[in-house]
Amino acid sequence: MKTMELTMIIEKGENDYYVGQIEEYPAALSQGKTIDELKDNLRDALKLLLKLQKKQLENDYIKRKIVKRRLLFAQ
């Protein structure tokens, strides 16, 4: 399984919930009663975000001739 190291931005919100987002993917937002729950919820939010973005790209290119290639990235 491939892994990436991402950064969570966390703050204590109302009602003692932790709220946060992923710095590298700001649209991935969530909350949790604990930091561990927030972490799990952010993972789920990122998976959903990436799935939706992939579907949108597929729709955008549906009638166009394209080539797909793998891109390896290390920072």
CA distance 5 to 42: 13
- Contact indicator for 11, 18 with CB cutoff of 8 Å: yes
- Contact indicator for 38, 10 with CB cutoff of 8 Å: yes
Tell me, yes or no, whether 69 lies in a domain: no
Tell me, yes or no, whether 52 lies in a domain: yes
Where in the sequence is the domain holding 49, given as residue range(s)? Answer: 8-60
Q: What is the pLDDT along the chain (75 residues), one digit of tens a residue?
A: 678 899 999 999 889 999 999 999 999 999 999 999 999 999 999 999 999 999 999 999 998 999 989 998 777
Beta-strand relationship, 8-12 and 18-22: antiparallel
Total domains, the chain = 1
Tell me, yes or no, whether 24 lies in a domain: yes
pTM attached to this predicted model: 0.83
HSE of 43, CA atoms in CB hemisphere, 13 A: 8
Tell me, yes or no, whether 71 lies in a domain: no
Tell me, yes or no, whether 32 lies in a domain: yes
Tell me, yes or no, whether 70 lies in a domain: no
Tell me, yes or no, whether 66 lies in a domain: no
